[in-house]
Chain A
Amino acid sequence: MNKRVIISGVGGQGILLASDILSDVCLKAGFDVKKSEVHGMSQRGGNVVSHVVFGEKVYSPLISEGDADVILSFEKVEALRNIDFVKKDGVMIINDLEIYPLPVSCGLADYPKNPIGEIKEHLKNVIVINGQEEAEKLGNIKVMNVILLGVLASHLDIDKDAFIQTIREKVPQKTIDLNLKAFDVGYNYKG
């Protein structure tokens, strides 16, 4: 069976880089893989979504409503926005972070009080992690994405070594150890 993963968040958060790493990992692990995303308007602070599908033979790069096995959202409201895409028995991994959209920051709309609570009412498997806090503990806020990727990795049937090898190739030489440590924090996270 193919696995379908959605990564969502806000422009500038590194969503596309994370999904690039994931799809490279899938390729390394010997799967057929496709990934789909939209460039353009979305990058000016709009929401960003990337789809990754892998398995023996993948046709559609695009994931339909109700078909995602795992959603990793880098931001809370973006998790809520994409709730329709996750399967009933699927997993949602949510970074406990609020980024206000412009209509909220200029007082034209409200940020929902408890998006995670709302999601939990509809979905059994919700994992919440405070990525910034975990990254700060490692002394570098920039590794938040790798921590989140680690959490995602622990919910996919892919050899962990494929992740480690890809991270080694993708990050600057000096930061390899830090990034591998960050990945482990996510991988071993029990939310």
Chain B
Amino acid sequence: MKELLSGNEAVARGAYEGGLHFAVAYPGTPSTEILENISKYKEIRSQWAVNEKTSMEIGLGASFGGAKTLIAMKHVGLNVAADPFFSIGYIGARGAIVIVTADDPGMHSSQNEQDNRNYARSAKIPMFEPTDSQETKEFVKIALGISEEYDTPVIIRITTRICHSKSIVEFNDRKEFPIKGYEKNVRKNLILPAHARILHKKAEERLIKLREYSNNFKYNTIEYNDKKIGIITSGISYQYVKEAMPNASVLKIGFSWPLPDKLIREFADNVETLYVVEENDPFMETEIKAMGINIIGKDIIPITNELNPRIVKEAFKTVEPFAPLDIKEKAPIRPPALCPGCPHTSVFRAINKLKLIATGDIGCYTLGALPPLSAMDTCVDMGASIGNAFGIEISQPKSDARKIVAVIGDSTFYHSGITGLIDVIYNKGKITLIILDNSITAMTGHQDNPGTGKTLMGEDTVKMDLKKLVEGLGIKHVYEINSYELEGVEELIKRETNRDEPSVIIARNPCVLLPEIRKKPKDKYRVDPDKCTGCQLCVKLGCPAISFDKSTKKASISEQYCVGCTLCVQSCKFDAINKIEGSL
């Protein structure tokens, strides 16, 4: 059977065919659909972890128990998981361990474009880089095999254009393997210095063997053509090279750590000028130069942003530089925005009005930073809002201290906010933390989390009691509020930021995009133009359903987009916004 699969779906299919037992991840674009698709195969147990570090540790535990395991994350997730990740590089894999890192050149939905190939080198872990969905599926299966054969975790490094591109994949059947079972082995699994010294040596020896594997790997292939230009490439860049330079000779690297040194030398000897085309860091270039081989890379290929066929053509000067038309500048930007009726809105409106310092975090709510809400000062990494707020509090002179709030989403709080809050309590901080609890991980497309009472595989589970959790940490002032009470939210935030003790506000309402919320019949509202004074208080909510006509100086509401949250009704001082009768 042949089907069009995205790279993420292909990872799932490969995991299934390769006999995977267990998969674990924390969501993160562009990797999220990997677990969502694995969870459709009931033969594999799959679950969402609270973050990437716990994913890695649970995954390793499953491997201790002899299960074939896959751990997936977006590139920055590997930073969170780096501690156990480096240890696994020494410990190896009793049950196979495949770690999928989904990098994001071009930063379509990330805060940086770190190149996780560097992690393979520094943690001494072998790495595959597929060039399309078919290879992605095959490499996951191969990785499951060599992981146990060489007693090593294996990285599958994919990027946004692999994850979210579809190409044709041929299906095979699943192979079943028994789970090997647990076996105590402290010299391997307990990495004291004495054990680790030996394990480090083993890891280095393993890499030497894997270099031979790489030299013989059948997907590391030379495609000779015109030998004037020889291009070494990997991953999605291979596709760009083949389209842009159809006559060049190409060495395609499917297994890029350790690099196939013999194959590279052979290729270098047979072509006139050698190039390397890779996105972001000069990973292969640095290694190949260290082999004493002349190669041209980042001198002509940009280091920032993703590539495409045109960039490759321009680098090799086979086309003139592109001359963009200036008329497209007339298209106003269309930034993503909080949805009409988003329950996060009221908190940001209040922060804006109260002119608070607001440290932010990562999620849909980061959009509260955009105008007109403009209610976020910082965004660094998941969980950072709390530590950042506390640090600002510490560094502010008492005399002109401004009030500080930290703003975090529910999933982000479970991911890595709890530890920061303990710091605040322990070290006598006074910040106010606002947890925006929309009962879902919204940004990445609605994944369950410990607060939703459901597992990835759709089973009921314990639903975390956020208020009790926070109280249990020692916060005395914890308040829950309905986030559609515009004034109430503002008053509560004002009161708590004036308090000389730390406090937590849990602002609640489910995400408006959740299917059960979408389905509910909704009141619709409209602006009475006779009463509208053009004050724009409603416009300041940043609701995409509200627009303001500069010529008539009147606001209006799109009936199509209005979800009846009434925040604008509450914001209007002139009773100009009314329910459309019978709109339910």
Interface of A with B (CB < 8 Å)? Answer: 10-11, 23-24, 27, 32-47, 58-67, 77-78, 80-84, 100-112, 115, 118-119, 121-122
- Is the Cβ of A65 less than 8 Å from the Cβ of B547? no
18 residue pairs from A and B, CB less than 8 Å apart: A33-B166, A35-B4, A39-B29, A39-B33, A39-B109, A40-B29, A40-B108, A42-B109, A45-B337, A61-B239, A67-B309, A80-B327, A82-B328, A111-B332, A112-B332, A115-B330, A118-B327, A119-B327
CA distance in complex: A63, B540 (Å): 38
Asked whether A43 and B336 contact (CB < 8 A) given A80-B330, A83-B328, the answer is yes
Partner of A44, one of B242, B364, B540: B364
CA distance in complex: A105, B266 (Å): 61
Confirm or deny: B157 has a beta carbon within 8 angstroms of a beta carbon on chain A.
no
Partner of B324, one of A37, A62, A84: A84
Confirm or deny: B247 has a beta carbon within 8 angstroms of a beta carbon on chain A.
no
- Is the Cβ of B109 less than 8 Å from the Cβ of A122? no
Confirm or deny: B322 has a beta carbon within 8 angstroms of a beta carbon on chain A.
yes
CA distance in complex: A27, B170 (Å): 13
- Is the Cβ of B325 less than 8 Å from the Cβ of A64? no
Residue among A24, A40, A47, A118 with most chain B CB within 10 A: A40
- Look across to chain A and name the residue whose beta carbon is closest to the beta carbon of B110: A40
CA distance in complex: A42, B445 (Å): 11
Top-3 shortest CB links A-B: A40-B109, A64-B310, A105-B547
Please give, as numbers and ranges, the residues of chain B lying within 8 Å of A47 by CB-CB distance: 334
- Look across to chain B and name the residue whose beta carbon is closest to the beta carbon of A104: B332
CA distance in complex: A24, B469 (Å): 48
- Is the Cβ of B328 less than 8 Å from the Cβ of A84? yes
- Is the Cβ of B548 less than 8 Å from the Cβ of A34? no
CA distance in complex: A77, B327 (Å): 11
- Is the Cβ of B544 less than 8 Å from the Cβ of A102? yes
CA distance in complex: A104, B339 (Å): 16
Given contacts A34-B167, A62-B161, A115-B331, 9 further A-B contacts (CB under 8 A): A33-B166, A34-B166, A36-B164, A40-B109, A42-B108, A78-B334, A102-B335, A105-B539, A106-B371
- Is the Cβ of B548 less than 8 Å from the Cβ of A107? yes
Confirm or deny: B483 has a beta carbon within 8 angstroms of a beta carbon on chain A.
no
Please give, as numbers and ranges, the residues of chain B lying within 8 Å of A66 by CB-CB distance: 310, 322
Please give, as numbers and ranges, the residues of chain B lying within 8 Å of A105 by CB-CB distance: 539, 544, 546-548
Please give, as numbers and ranges, the residues of chain A lying within 8 Å of B542 by CB-CB distance: 102, 106
Which residues between 119 and 168 of chain B lie within 8 Å of chain A, taking CB atoms?
132, 160-161, 164-168
Please give, as numbers and ranges, the residues of chain B lying within 8 Å of A61 by CB-CB distance: 161, 165-167, 239
Shortest distance between the CB of A126 and any CB in chain B (Å):
13
Shortest distance between the CB of A150 and any CB in chain B (Å):
21
Which residues between 390 and 448 of chain B lie within 8 Å of chain A, taking CB atoms?
443-445
Which residues between 338 and 364 of chain B lie within 8 Å of chain A, taking CB atoms?
338-339, 364
- Is the Cβ of B337 less than 8 Å from the Cβ of A62? no
Please give, as numbers and ranges, the residues of chain B lying within 8 Å of A67 by CB-CB distance: 309-310
Partner of A38, one of B164, B166, B370: B164
Shortest distance between the CB of A180 and any CB in chain B (Å):
23
Asked whether A41 and B242 contact (CB < 8 A) given A33-B167, A77-B331, the answer is no
- Is the Cβ of A60 less than 8 Å from the Cβ of B240? yes
- Is the Cβ of A64 less than 8 Å from the Cβ of B328? no
Please give, as numbers and ranges, the residues of chain A lying within 8 Å of B33 by CB-CB distance: 39
- Is the Cβ of A103 less than 8 Å from the Cβ of B331? no
Q: Convert B227-239 into 0s and 1s, putting 1 for each residue whose CB lies closer than 8 angstroms to a CB of A.
A: 0000000001001
Please give, as numbers and ranges, the residues of chain B lying within 8 Å of A101 by CB-CB distance: 332-335
CA distance in complex: A148, B6 (Å): 24
- Is the Cβ of A41 less than 8 Å from the Cβ of B108? yes
Please give, as numbers and ranges, the residues of chain B lying within 8 Å of A77 by CB-CB distance: 331-332, 334
Shortest distance between the CB of B415 and any CB in chain A (Å):
17
CA distance in complex: A27, B4 (Å): 8
Shortest distance between the CB of A79 and any CB in chain B (Å):
9
Shortest distance between the CB of A8 and any CB in chain B (Å):
11
Please give, as numbers and ranges, the residues of chain A lying within 8 Å of B335 by CB-CB distance: 46, 101-103
Asked whether A45 and B339 contact (CB < 8 A) given A60-B243, A102-B544, A106-B547, the answer is yes
Please give, as numbers and ranges, the residues of chain A lying within 8 Å of B328 by CB-CB distance: 80-84
Shortest distance between the CB of A124 and any CB in chain B (Å):
14
Please give, as numbers and ranges, the residues of chain A lying within 8 Å of B367 by CB-CB distance: 44
Asked whether A106 and B161 contact (CB < 8 A) given A23-B4, A45-B336, the answer is no
Shortest distance between the CB of B224 and any CB in chain A (Å):
17
Partner of A10, one of B30, B334, B444: B334
Which residues between 91 and 137 of chain B lie within 8 Å of chain A, taking CB atoms?
108-109, 132
- Look across to chain B and name the residue whose beta carbon is closest to the beta carbon of A32: B168
Partner of B332, one of A10, A60, A82, A109: A109
CA distance in complex: A58, B134 (Å): 13
Asked whether A33 and B4 contact (CB < 8 A) given A67-B309, A83-B327, the answer is yes
- Is the Cβ of A33 less than 8 Å from the Cβ of B108? no
- Is the Cβ of A44 less than 8 Å from the Cβ of B339? yes
Please give, as numbers and ranges, the residues of chain B lying within 8 Å of A64 by CB-CB distance: 308-311, 313
Asked whether A103 and B333 contact (CB < 8 A) given A38-B160, A39-B445, the answer is yes
- Is the Cβ of A27 less than 8 Å from the Cβ of B168? yes
Asked whether A122 and B334 contact (CB < 8 A) given A38-B160, A103-B371, the answer is no
Q: Convert B189-224 into 0s and 1s, putting 1 for each residue whose CB lies closer than 8 angstroms to a CB of A.
A: 000000000000000000000000000000000000
- Is the Cβ of B327 less than 8 Å from the Cβ of A60? no
CA distance in complex: A103, B332 (Å): 8
CA distance in complex: A62, B166 (Å): 11
Please give, as numbers and ranges, the residues of chain A lying within 8 Å of B334 by CB-CB distance: 10, 45-47, 77-78, 81, 101-102
CA distance in complex: A62, B161 (Å): 8
Please give, as numbers and ranges, the residues of chain A lying within 8 Å of B364 by CB-CB distance: 44
Residue among B161, B168, B332, B443 with most chain A CB within 10 A: B332
Partner of A106, one of B132, B239, B339, B548: B548
Confirm or deny: B372 has a beta carbon within 8 angstroms of a beta carbon on chain A.
yes
Please give, as numbers and ranges, the residues of chain A lying within 8 Å of B308 by CB-CB distance: 60, 62-64
